[in-house]
Amino acid sequence: MGFSTDQEQHDQMLRGWVEALRGRGYTQISAALPETPNKPRQTAGGSIPDLTALDPGSARVMGEVKTCADLDNDHTRGQLRDYVNSGVKVMLLVPESCYAAAQTALVRWGFTSVQPWYVPGS
């Protein structure tokens, strides 16, 4: 993909995810993007997800986007724990090249309810 910064890659992934979720019937999407006026709110645990939405069945969803360089660390684990503890459906978006590493980390951390997604071709 050729990004100059991890933040640029992160934001581009998030933009694509927002569009993909809209296409799948998700509504009330809030995203942590500079151009988006409606940003996700802080959780009770103190973390701010990259994305919140309602899925097609009206279940509340929180999503987090991670680049490969920012995936397997205590900060990410803490964010996901906050989201899981809030009782909503949690999704994690990563580049395809580190999808297996994301699955491994989620199992190691005990977050089997977190739904991993990946960006094809990344």
Number of domains in the chain: 1
What pLDDT, on the 0 to 100 scale, is given for residue 4?
60
Low-confidence ranges of the chain (pLDDT < 50): 1
In a domain, 1, yes or no: no
CATH number at residue 99: 3.40.1350.60
Are 84 and 91 in contact by the 8 Å Cβ rule? The answer is no
What pLDDT, on the 0 to 100 scale, is given for residue 1?
45
Boundaries of domain holding 40: 6-119
